[in-house]
Structures are given as C-alpha cells and as structure tokens.
Chains A and B, each alone.
Chain A
Amino acid sequence: MKNKDDLISQDVFDHLVDLAAFKLADDEKDYLHEQMNHQLDAIRELEAIPLPEELPVTTHGVEYGKDGKPALRKDEWTACENTKEILNQAPDLEDNYIVVPDIPTTELE
C-alpha cells in the first residue's frame, strides 16, 4: 500500500494546474493526476542511488574536445527582413500591435 504522503496531493496538483495556466476538464484532471503519481513512482527509483557529496551535475551537452569550440558569434545587430510575416502570425493584430484581452489588475489600498 502506497504511503499517502508519497503522492501528489489534490492541493498541490491544483496549484500546479493554476501555475501552468491550464483550464482542464474533469476527466483530464483525473488522468493527469493519476499519471503524475505513476511517473513519480518511477522517479523514486533515483532515491536509492548512493551519490558522492562532490558529484557534479550534468546540465549540458558534451565537451567540444581539443579541436572544437562552441559556435559563439559576436553580439551584432542584424536586420530582420520579414517582420511583417512574423507579426502576421499573431492571432489578433491591429496597426502592427498585438492585441490581447485586458490585463488583470488589483487596486492597491
């Protein structure tokens, strides 16, 4: 029997859904919550691995070796030739401004 504390609680799940900015149907919520707990079971396998204190993390690709280096470039301004094409992708465009609904505000006391 799984320890209840080992599961992602309903409160935590709801908070994540809010942060992720998802409006979800109930059946979606059920599936996602269940699958997250299922995946967490798999992830917990990592807890059993002894890790030396000084073990570094790996966050990037491979070293480039003696004859290699990353493809860095100078920080130079270059003109973008198809700004219209890019702006036209916006769902709502007016006079080259992207239109969005009102931004929620809170009155300061």
Chain B
Amino acid sequence: MMTDLTALSALELAELVRTRQVSAEEVLDANLAGIEKVDGRPGTLGADLSPEDANGVHAFITHTNDTARRQARDVDAKIAKGEDVGLLPGVPFTVKDIFCVRGTPSTAASRILANFVAPYTATPVARMNAAGGVMLGKVNLDEFTFGSSSESSAFQPSPRNPWDLSRVPGGSSGGNVAAVAAEEGALSLGTDTAGSIRQPAAFCGVVGMKPTYGRVSRYGLIAFGSSLDCPGPIARNVKDAALMLQVIAGADKADATTAVKPVPDYLQDIEKGVRGMRIGLSPDYFRITFPDPESGEYVEQPLPQEISDAVYKAAELYKAMGAEIIEDVPMPNTRFGIPVYFVISRVEAASNLHRFDGVKYGYRTKEAVRDLTEMYRRSRGEGFGLQPKLRILMGMYVSAAQYSEQYYQRALKVRTLIRRDFEQAFDPNGKYKLDALLTPTTPTPAFEMAAVYGDSVMMQYADQLTVPANHAGVPGISIPAGFSEGGLPIGIQLLGADFNEATLLRIARSYEMATEQEDWRKKKPAILEGK
C-alpha cells in the first residue's frame, strides 16, 4: 500500500474502509506509527523538561491504543458481516482531555483530576464511536481549558506548533490542532469557550468550528463557562469538519440546553458555491484594543497587514465567485468582548470549580490534616494550578454582593449589546442581511513559547476576534488562508446566524475550492518532512 494513510481525509478513509480497500486496523497501524515518529513523549504530571522535548509535537496526554485496536477490529468485523458502520468507519480521531471517556483518565490537564478515571462517556465522543470512529487518545490542553497557548497544562511537555516547534499551537485545544496538523488522526474533538477551537486552528493551519450553542451536547464535558462552552470539530479540511459535525450534532436528553431541532445534511450543498450570498466585512474586526503592557493605557492598533490582506483576498475571491461583499458592517461592541469575558467566564468558572474538593473523586492532599476545612484547603491549593486559582478568585470577586452590580450585572448587559450586533448583521429583514461575516481569526500568527505565558491579560487578548461569537452563541469557523512572511499559518473566520452551520461550511468550502491550486496549499508542517 503506497498511499500514506495518515495524510488522507476522514471522508477518504471512511470510503476506503467501508469498501474494504483498506482495513480499519491498517489505518490505525499507520496512525500509531506516525504518532511514534512525530509526537515524542506524552504530557506527564510533574515531568522535568529536557532539550529533547523541543523536537516533538507532544499532542497527547493519554494514548488509548488498546481501546483503539478493539474499536478498529470491531469496525472491520462489522464490515465483513455487511453491517452498517456509520459515517466514520475506521476514521482515527483524538479527544481533548476535557471530555469524560469511560475507563480512561479524564484529567482536564490538572493535577486535581490526574487520577480521575471517568465512569461515563461524553455524548459527542459516544456518537463518534457509534459512527465507527477509532479514538487514538486524549490530547493536551490548557489546565481546565484556561488559556490560549496550552502552556498552562499540568502535564508537561505541553503541545508545540507542528509548523514551528518553537511556537505555541494556541489553545486551549492546542493538543487537538497540533495532532490534526501533524497527521496524528484525521479528526479531533475540541471545545470553544472564547475561541479555543478557532484560535489554535488558525495557529496550526487547520479547520476548526464552534457550532451554535446548543447544537452539540455538553454532556460529559468538564464544565468551564457553562453558558459559553461549545464542543466542535477540528479537521484538515472543511468537508471533514462538516462530516464530523454531522455525527456529533443534535439533541441529547442528557443536556437540556441542546436544541431539539432538525440537523441538516451538512455535506449535501457544501460545494454549491456562494453566488448570491451576502458576505460582510466589519472595520471593528480589523483593529484590536488592548492594555499596553508598559503603561496600562488602552491602545487601539490596526491588525498586521498580512492578516488583513488574507481577509481582503478572501473577500475578492468570494466576489469573483458571485457573492456580494457588504463593507462597513458595524459591530461596535466587539472591543468589549474580552472585558465582558473576564467577568462572565470567571464567575461561571468559579461556580463550576467549587465541586473539586478532594472528597468524592480526584486529588486529595497526602498531608495530615486536622479537619475537613484544612483538607479542602490543602487539596485545592495543591491540586489546582495558578490559572484555575486565578479564575476562581476573580469570579468570586466580581460576583460578590457588593461588586456584582458594578461588574457581573453590567457584563451580562454588555453581552446583550454584543448579541445585538450579530442580530442586526444577520437579520433577514434588516439593513445588512448577511449570510456570514468574514473576519480574521486571530490578531497575530502563533507566538513564541513562553512569550506571553504568565501575563493572563495579554494571553486573553489573543481571543479578541473569536470571543464575541461565544457571547452571542452564534456559530463560527476558522479556515486556513495562507502563511505569514515568517512561514506561519494565518486563519480567516466566518461567523453566521444561529444554527446556520451549513451556510458557513458552504462558504468555507468555496474558499478552499477557489484556492485549491495555490502553492501554499501544498505546504506541510516542518515536522512531517522526511516522515
């Protein structure tokens, strides 16, 4: 077999396995061999780093080779018997270690859950398994998803960017995107609370989608910001992301916030083009506002030219394909996305993280304690890393009775204003009538490891262009759109109206088709050269 099975798309693999041209076990073997070559050691609690660690991707925390072998054999046996094997037969995938998977460690990349073996499986993972998918393992992330670089994981070494190992893969779904970019599985299941799928997807040159809130079940997802968290697909191309969304989307009786609403066929019209569609550009997505690290004063800056150019080039392509480009769509509350997020996400995180107390599961201090209160304090003090502690304390502060009106209630109201920006842009009877808003995904390409880590404010501002969609609940997708002068991937983002994932996928696929022959599409991550 000459074809490199690790480089094929999920759709191609599913077809090859379904038609018995390749077995699910052969696909698995190829992927395990690939992981062996590029990944290096998995993230481990309390590991000392060595210079050798700079040479690997380190996407994983837990390899689940035995389970994967069982799943692959199961798929092959079903196919041999002529049974239905679903949409993902033999397709290898990875899962962010924030999802519970029965019988596997489910750590949230935190010491406090390092010994936790989930007694149940998250709905999106169960659906991928039921569709014939083969889970390769659990991948690394920022502790409890709190970060934008994946460096805050308690399991070191943390993942690296396969395009340039000295740079971060982004976060918090850093292990997911690194794995997909480095051909360690065709698909990956991530989560997006402020941009945690889209930002790392942009940094690593892959496709990442945050579906509408309620489109994909959160059952089995270790909660961070319950009104913001969205599980979603990560893939190397748009059609694979559509295929994966097809499998994981839909109502779930175990998550009352999921929508009982028909799930469309996401692949059916995906190549029908953008003729007649209205695609918007907003000046508010071409500048960033952030506190200057030196003076603390707020400064507004245009985005780097190469980032803006990628978006304008996409707009030109869409125009040439028959779409109408609507300029100057006002999204004036975009700049408040991060300050609002600093409040809402912290309050929700504090509420969700109080459950970890050393009593029922997870880490309990080994020190002798005089009473229950001391056990709580020591267990939580030793079990949580700095970022969860910071979020819990901040959440408690801004929601305290005496400050709540000033901060939390105010943030919830500004969230309404952010939501209204999107409602006006997508209103079919409104002024703009957009099918999608086209924006950059991130203000910069991937930054150097350790360059931002530790500064919790600057790290958060990496999500400035992605977080408004989480506040509004609307869907968004990041797709690769070329490279920076320094050779790093650049992503562009499409945002849409509630439950309009099919439209976004179609617009995203149109861009892929229009740029299919461009030279940059042939590039592969450095780590794969000579593989």
What is the CA–CA distance of A68 and B390 in the complex, to the nearest angstrom?
38
Given contacts A32-B393, A70-B256, A72-B256, contact A103 B372 (CB under 8 A): yes
- Scan residues 32-68 of chain A and give those whose CB is less than 8 A from a CB of chain B: 32, 35-36, 38-47, 49, 51, 55-65, 67-68
A91 contacts B358, C-beta separation under 8 Å: yes
Chain B contacts for A77, CB-based, 8 A: none
Q: Which B residues lie within 8 Å of A68 (CB)?
A: 259-261, 499
CA distance A90 to B376 in the complex (A): 14
Closest partner residue, chain B, to A23 (CB atom): B381
Residue of B nearest to A90 (CB): B360
Interface residues on A, range: 35 or more
Q: Which single member of A22, A44, A73, A98 contacts B359 (CB below 8 Å)?
A: A98
Give chain B residues whose Cβ lies under 8 Å from the Cβ of A101: 369-372, 374-375
CB 8 Å contact bits of A92-104 with B (1 = contact, 0 = none): 1000001011111
Contact A41 B498 (CB under 8 A): no
**Closest chain B residue to A18, Cβ basis:** B377
Asked if B523 is an interface residue, CB under 8 A from chain A, the answer is no
B495 at the A/B interface (Cβ < 8 Å)? no
| Given A22-B381, A57-B413, A62-B498, A31:B394 Cβ within 8 A | no
- Interface residues as binary, B364-403 with A (CB distance below 8 Å gives 1, 0 otherwise): 1000011111111110111010100110111011100000
Asked, given contacts A36-B393, A39-B342, whether A102 binds B372 with beta carbons under 8 Å apart, the answer is yes
Instruction: Say whether, besides A39-B342, A68-B499, A12 and B372 are in contact (CB < 8 Å).
Output: no
B203 touches A (CB below 8 Å)? no
Nearest opposing residue in chain B for A31, CB measure: B386
Q: What 1/0 mask marks residues of chain A from 17 to 37 whose CB sits below 8 Å from any chain B CB?
A: 101111110001001100110
Check if B419 is an interface residue, CB within 8 A of chain A.
yes
Contact among A2, A51, A71 for B256, CB-based, below 8 A: A71
Q: Residue A4 at the B interface, CB < 8 A?
A: no
Are A89's CB and B409's CB within 8 A? no
Most buried by A among B119, B212, B343: B119
Chain A hits for B411, CB < 8 A = 43, 46
CB of A104 within 8 A of CB of B373, answer yes
Residues of A within 8 A of B390 (CB): 32, 35-36, 39
- How far is A69 from B260 in the complex, measured between Cα atoms in Å? 5
Q: Is the CB of B361 within 8 A of A89?
A: yes
In the assembled complex, the CB of A37 is this many whole angstroms from the nearest CB of chain B, namely 10
Tell whether B417 is near chain A: CB-to-CB under 8 Å: yes
Distance to closest chain A CB from B227 (angstroms): 6
- Known A21-B357, A46-B336, A46-B411: A91·B389 in contact at CB below 8 Å: no
Is the Cβ of B291 less than 8 Å from the Cβ of A71?
A: no
Of the candidates B256, B336, B416, B499, which one forms a contact with A56 in the assembled complex, judged by CB atoms under 8 Å apart? B416
**Complex contact B371–A104 (CB within 8 A):** yes
What separation, in Å, do the CA atoms of A14 and B473 have in the docked complex? Answer: 36
Does B301 reach chain A (CB closer than 8 Å)?
no
> Are A20 and B396 within 8 A (Cβ)?
yes
Check: B135 CB closer than 8 A to any chain A CB. no
Complexed CA–CA distance, A85 and B253 (Å): 23
CB distance from A50 to the nearest CB of B (A): 10
In chain B between 253 and 281, which residues have their CB closer than 8 angstroms to a CB of chain A?
A: 253, 255-262
Interface residue B117 (Cβ < 8 Å from any Cβ of A): yes
Chain A, residue nearest B391 (CB): A39
A22 contacts B412, C-beta separation under 8 Å: no
Q: In the bound complex, do residue B253 and residue A73 qualify as a contact, i.e. CB atoms below 8 Å apart?
A: yes
| B378-A16 in contact (CB<8A) | no
B79 within 8 A of A: no
Q: Are B257 and A46 in contact (CB under 8 A)?
A: no
B residues in contact with A36, CB < 8 Å: 390, 393-394, 397
For residue A79, CB closer than 8 A to chain B, the reply is no
Within 8 Å by CB of B361, from A63, A67, A90, lies: A90
Residue contact B214 to A45, C-beta cutoff 8 Å = no
Distance between Cα atoms of A22 and B390 in the complex (Å) = 11
CB contacts (< 8 Å) of B362 on chain A: these are 89, 91
Return the chain B residue nearest A8 by Cβ: B397
Once A36-B394, A61-B213, A92-B364 are accepted as A-B contacts, the answer to whether A42 and B371 lie under 8 Å apart by CB is: no
Query: 20 A-B contacts, Cβ less than 8 Å apart?
Result: A16-B397, A20-B393, A21-B357, A46-B336, A46-B339, A59-B412, A62-B498, A71-B259, A86-B119, A89-B361, A89-B362, A90-B361, A98-B359, A100-B372, A101-B369, A103-B371, A103-B372, A104-B371, A104-B372, A104-B373
Further pairs besides A42-B460, A43-B339: 7, Cβ < 8 Å: A23-B377, A36-B390, A39-B456, A51-B414, A62-B474, A65-B261, A91-B364
Instruction: Give me the 9 closest cross-chain CB pairs, A-B, nearest first.
Output: A68-B261, A61-B213, A57-B412, A23-B381, A89-B361, A91-B364, A62-B473, A23-B377, A58-B415
